[in-house]
Structure 1
Amino acid sequence: MDGTAGLVERYLEHVRVEKRLAARTVELYALDLQKLSANAAGAGLELTRVQNAHIRRWVAQMHSGGRSGRGIALILSGWRGFYAWLGRQGLIDSNPVVDVRAPKAPKPLPKALSVDDSVQLAEFEDERADPWLEARDAAMVELLYGCGLRVGELVGLDALASGSARGWVDLDAGEAHVLGKGSKRRIVPVGAQAAQALRHWLGLRALAAHETPALFVGRGGTRLSAQSIWQRLKRRSLRAGLATPVHPHMLRHSFASHVLQSSGDLRAVQELLGHANITTTQVYTRLDFQHLAKAYDAAHPRAQRTKR
């Protein structure tokens, strides 16, 4: 049987000639297999004797050493291909990499605005803007931050309730009826500031005499798209002097964080956001440690220090 170096060279020749992989790809495969060979040698193993447990241990070592999940996934792909080839050569009975996956990187949370920045954006009045567009955009900001709506839910709102409406706002009741993920309907309260902004916008919208049922429309009378709302919000946040361009999901996250910080009621936030599982809310509304420390210092009797 070929030694370790011989097996690796035969495999690299196979991918170079028969699979016609690019030279750079073959070079990367060679580096990955050098690492595999070094790991096997360190464990006193021939490459053909490596087991699933060894692969998992080496993945854990790479992860603890700081290698990214994506980097580990690429290495595993190269190892998996090598052992699949060994199997076709009749040199191993099973592929030790076949069911090993790289650790998943935690999904980064969307950045939440501070309360001050959120209020600054909501109260901003662009005196240079068209009053019609200004009223519309102000109402959109109030609903996104004041109700925690998804941009898709905002897009789907109609000006009036109907059997065909995906969603609408009942100003008399102070409620927004929205169609969320999984076609699940929910009702969220509409605050006084949002209601005031909506009434102003509806008054101007009516002057255009558009026939579309959409609550938020462009100058041509068509329903605004999610992309248009992203662009308008980014533009508005920069005009308002915020350091970070704001997108709709950032306002939803800010809504959730600020309500949770003030109330501490995770179940209520779950209902407001329309999350099916509260674990989603726990991750989504994770608070920064500084806020938690302040809450602890203010509320816990054993946190209060004796004044000297």
Structure 2
Amino acid sequence: MVVETYLTHLRAERHLAPRTLALYADALRRLVEGAQGLGVALASLQPHHVRALMAQAHGTGLSPRSLALLLSAWRGFYRWWGRQGGVALNPVDGVRPPKAPKPLPKALAVDQAVALAEQAPAADDPALAARDHAIVELLYGSGLRVGELVGLDVQPGAASAGWVDLAGAEAQVRGKGAKWRSVPVGGPARQALAAWLAWRAGIARPEEPALFVSQRGTRLSDSQVRSRLKSLALQAGLPTQVHPHMLRHSFASHLLQSSGDLRAVQELLGHADIRTTQVYTRLDFQHLAKVYDAAHPRARKR
């Protein structure tokens, strides 16, 4: 049978992993059974038949991701079969799976974010403790991306990707698309940064411009920040794994809850399209819905 020949091709010539091969086999089994159910030979399948099979699979509860995997396997099969001269048309071309809903960004509750910011890092080295505290305050207080954070220098320079002006209470950062923006730096973050800068001079290498450096005195990496933040969240007793972008989400969500100014949040985050920022209105609505469910007498179930 042609399907078995194709699976042999995938195993012997494409060298697919056993798990991947099993997924292909299951997808093609669904294709064969579906075509039989429609009373159509595999070689005669048309795009409207494939759409019908997609509708059936969707009706069984398969997720958009699983449906996309089915289509990918079927498309590859017909592409190979066409090269063998078995079919002139790939009936899967042009058929698209339903769009998967975009998950909401995960943000900390206000009390969790504050607890993390106020958590005294349990580091043996007080310098590193001061650095980690400044990192958390800046991520949550200014909504920076982790790449923007590690790109900050102590002072502006020709090759600088950003710097903090403590006196002016703002940071200049170069974000996506090499676009510059100014973000405010609040009092707690300025205090934390001042404490870190007092230690930094004894750690950083003489010619190192980075604001945040590792124990070796060189610029801190994205992965090092993620690791430190995960450790701090555990120390603070937070019930979820925390990553840098979660603090950016928290910054945006909490600011929107307090101000309701979507345009201002867009500007502070450096989003080119306000539709990207609008996702936080959904987070804000979830927060309001929880308050309503907990407090409004008409929300209570009898």
Q: What TM-score comes out, normalization by structure 2 length?
A: 0.84
| Alpha carbons of structure 1 residues 44 and 219: separation in structure 2 relative to 1, 3 Å | closer
Which of 182, 185, 206 lines up with 2:180 in the alignment? Answer: 185
Deviation track 1:23-50 (CA, whole Å, cap 9, x = no partner) reads 9677655543442233334334333332
Give the drift of 1:290. 4.2
Contact 2:257 2:284 in 1 (8 A): no
AA of the residue aligned to 2:235: R
Local SS of the residue matching 1:202: helix
2:121 — aligned with what?
A: 126
Aligned to 2:250: 254
Q: Give, in whole Å, the separation in 2 of the partners of 1:64 and 1:288.
A: 32
> What corresponds to 2:72 in structure 1?
77
Q: Select between 184-193 and 60-69 the one with higher mean Cα deviation.
A: 60-69
Name the structure 1 match of 2:139: 144
Question: Equivalences for 1:97-246 in 2 at 5 Å?
Answer: 97-126=92-121, 129-208=124-203, 210-211=205-206, 212-246=208-242
State the 1:172 CA deviation. Answer: 1.4
Once the two structures are TM-superposed, the CA of residue 123 in structure 1 deviates from its matched residue by 1.0
Q: Is the 8 A contact 1:144 1:251 kept in 2?
A: yes
The Cα of 1:15 is off from its aligned counterpart by 4.3
Contact 1:253 1:285 in 2 (8 A): no
Match of 2:265 in 1: 269
- Could you tell me whether the CA contact under 8 Å between 1:179 and 1:186 is conserved in 2? yes
- Secondary structure class of the residue paired with 1:158: coil
Residue of structure 1 aligned with 2:34, choices 1, 17, 39: 39
Distance 1:169 1:54, change over 3 A: same
How many residues are paired up? 293
**Closer, same or farther in 2 for the Cα pair 1:43/1:143, shift >3 Å?**
same
Describe the shift of the 1:259–1:11 C-alpha distance in structure 2 as closer, same or farther (beyond 3 A).
same
Q: Classify the secondary structure of the residue corresponding to 1:287.
A: helix
Q: CA deviation at 1:264?
A: 1.4
* Structure 1, gaps ≥5 residues long: 1-8, 298-302
* Distance across 2 between alignment mates of 1:169 and 1:197: 12
Distance of aligned partners of 1:17 and 1:185 in 2 relative to their CA distance in 1, 3 Å threshold? closer
Cα drift, residue 256 of structure 1: 0.9
Code of the aligned partner of 1:276: A
Which residue number in structure 2 is paired with residue 278 of structure 1? Answer: 274
In the TM superposition, residue 216 of structure 1 has moved relative to its aligned partner by 0.7
How far the C-alpha of 1:137 sits from its partner, in A, is 0.8
| Equivalent position to 1:94, from 89, 93, 97 | 89
Which of the residues 62, 67, 73 maps onto 1:67?
Answer: 62
Q: Which has the larger radius of gyration?
A: 1
Shift of 1:107: 4.3
Q: Structure 1 residues 47, 127: CA separation in 2 closer, same or farther (over 3 Å shift)?
A: closer
**Shift, 1:239, TM fit:** 1.3
Over 3 Å counting, the alpha-carbon distance change for 1:264 and 1:65 in structure 2 is farther
Gaps of 5+ in 2: none
Cα distance change of structure 1 residues 223 and 45 upon mapping to structure 2, 3 Å threshold:
same
Percent sequence identity is 59
Q: 1:262 to 1:61 in 2, by over 3 A?
A: farther
Assess if the C-alpha contact under 8 Å between 2:7 and 2:25 holds in 1: no
TM-score if structure 1 supplies the norm length? 0.82
Measure the CA separation in 1 of the matches of 2:73 and 2:287.
45
**Structure 1 residues 59 and 130, CA, compared in 2 at 3 Å: closer, same or farther?**
same
2:211 corresponds to which letter in structure 1? Answer: L
Residue aligned with 2:171, SS: strand
